[in-house]
Amino acid sequence: MNETTSLTSTRPEPLGDERSGFTAWPLLITLCGVLGLLALFLEGRPDGDADFEYPVTAEDVLGLDYVPYRISGALGYLLAILLLVTAAVWRHRVERRFPGSVGATVVSLGVVATAGITALTYGWRGALGNYMPGAMEEETYDAEGLYNYYIMTDFSPYIAFVPLLASAYALAWMAFKERLVSRGLGAASAVLATALLGAVLVLGVPGLPAMVLVGLVVAGIWLAFGRSPITAGPA
């Protein structure tokens, strides 16, 4: 490969030359979002009833069903694996094709970081499902011990997805600075990430960034069916 070919291969084609059609691999991103939402909301909450009288106590936790926590923990592990696979595919299809893209690197770093935190936090959820009344190791911890596990799993699975906000901003950078994804997708990514961070600052709820999972669902479909240089032409 000569020097001219090496240089031009890292540059995106003009947006007007993009190939329209369907590209399958971005649907891995959508699958991560769907699996993440399923794992996230499979939990039990003693304060789920509007008539619940606070505060939540250790005795309240004993009344929860262990099954949702068991399933959530397993789905969380599957999600961690799928996130790593998605990061590897992204590296092969995007980073190696456009090695000068800072945004593409940040996207994959956010996904890998999320995978690591997800494995930890959903491990806690699975452990709670294994120790609660009726589960396989139900007598391992007393009510206070289970309560501590419950507190750890109250927000940690939601917090696991914070690094994906960096990935969302990186998509915006790729759209407006590097011209590698459509500007519509970049704008939507920036608005979503900013709205979630702003909501955390205003409301003080640390788990709100988990709603970036909805953005994953949309982004994967957008890339699969839309027009972006990273999905145009041979990878």
* pLDDT, tens digit, 9 for 90 and up, residues 11-54: 444 443 344 578 999 999 999 999 999 999 998 877 766 667 77
Give a yes or no: residue 9 inside a domain.
no
Give a yes or no: residue 12 inside a domain.
no
**Domain count of the fold of the chain:** 1
How far apart CA 138 and CA 140 sit, in angstroms, is 6
> What residues make up the domain containing 167?
23-231
CA 230 to chain centre: 20
Give a yes or no: residue 10 inside a domain.
no
Place 234 in a pLDDT band, splitting at 50, 70 and 90. low
Give a yes or no: residue 134 inside a domain.
yes
Q: What's the pLDDT at 8?
A: 34
Instruction: Give 133-160 pLDDT, tens digit per residue.
Output: 998 998 888 889 999 989 888 889 999 9
Instruction: Give 183-230 pLDDT, tens digit per residue.
Output: 999 999 999 999 999 999 999 999 999 999 999 999 999 999 998 899
Q: Residues 109-126: what's their mean pLDDT? A: 96
For the entire predicted model, the pTM comes to 0.87
Give a yes or no: residue 14 inside a domain.
no
Give a yes or no: residue 177 inside a domain.
yes
Give a yes or no: residue 214 inside a domain.
yes
Give a yes or no: residue 218 inside a domain.
yes
Who's near 75: CB < 8 A, 6+ residues apart?
A: 35, 38, 39, 42, 122
